[in-house]
Amino acid sequence: MDRGRPVEAITLVNCHGMSATVLAYGATLQSVRVPDRHGVFADVTLGHAELAPYVEQPQFFGSSVGRVANRIAGGRFALDGQEFLVPVNDGPNALHGGPCGFDKALWTVVEATADPAPRVVLTHISPDGDQGFPGTLQVTATYTLSDDGDLAIEYRARTDRPTLVNLTNHAYWNLAGESAPGGAMDHVLTIPAEHFLPTDAGAIPTGEFAPVEGTPFDFRTPAVISARVRDGADAQIRIGRGYDHNWVVAAERSEAPRLVARLEHPLSGRVLEVLSTEPGVQFYSGNFLDGSSIGKAGQCYRMGDGIALEPQMFPDAANQPGFGSIRLDPDQEYRHTLIFRFNIASN
């Protein structure tokens, strides 16, 4: 229950037994169960067994975040010459839509079906002025699970007044299993990007598109995360206490989802490919997990126990014209399609 209202949980299952559970609270991906190379299933996304921690200790585990994912510098932006303020919730900045963003909304389940593929459709109406954003925004999140191992999420939105929109899913992954004691730092990561966005001490991009060449941010060739995540010689690693940066996969959005990241756990053979229509992907190495959140198997989540790969438009695009527009007008429809594709490594 959320403040006396029932919260639905819908489990999608494909023909191979892979499953994904979605909560109406935050349109949240609570669980994803996939097999390893021996056919043994494990839940590979971090989250809670009960609703209360999602409400009382929000960590964005699997949440749909918005209206604007990532950070808005100073909680301020201008639109058509008018300044708007978003309540700050990350030091001096607004993060993931403010303190009462979409991750804390009780979405409405409007459809749940098994044919032709298991899927659930959730909707949410964000009123004009919600968290300071202009316009009434009607949002839809559709989760679809295929027999090929694709978990697709499609976000759509329409507004009655010019506003800003940048939606993504904030799942944390540990392909060894969400309760595996070794965490996710032994995973092998690939990000097909030649540039990333350096940040200031408040995690706001400086506006520079920095080459990854010769830095710990070069994941064009697969690399083990633990080999670089504590490289104290790099100023950006020191600022983020690890990785909490956006990689520039492309200059603009695409019509069809494209690969933005690949994650592999060599021991189990599980592989996650992340595809998206957005040009950027935020890689967060779980730097601030401090043991205060208890996972589904009763384990304390600690630093590095899971990583997030969040496809999106670039952070603080509201204030940085060089990052592209996240504006949505009444005659437009916002759409972001992302796919979490699971398979087994061939070797």
Q: Both tokens of residue 189?
A: 């990561």
Amino acid at 312: Q
Q: φ and ψ at 51, to 5 degrees?
A: -75, -35
Amino acid at 9: A
DSSP 314: P
DSSP 238: H
Catalytic residues: 170, 310
| Among candidate residues 123, 157, 112, the one with its CA nearest the CA of residue 21 | 112
Buried b (16+ CB within 10 A) or exposed e, 60-80: bbbbbbbbbbbbbbbbbbebe
Distances (CA, A) of 263 to 114, 123, 307: 28, 30, 10
User: Under a CB-based contact definition with an 8 Å cutoff, are residues 255 and 249 in contact?
Assistant: no
**Alpha-carbon radius of gyration of the chain:** 19
* Angle CA 182–285–153, to nearest 5: 105
Amino acid at 25: Y
User: Under a CB-based contact definition with an 8 Å cutoff, are residues 282 and 245 in contact?
Assistant: yes
User: Under a CB-based contact definition with an 8 Å cutoff, are residues 205 and 198 in contact?
Assistant: yes
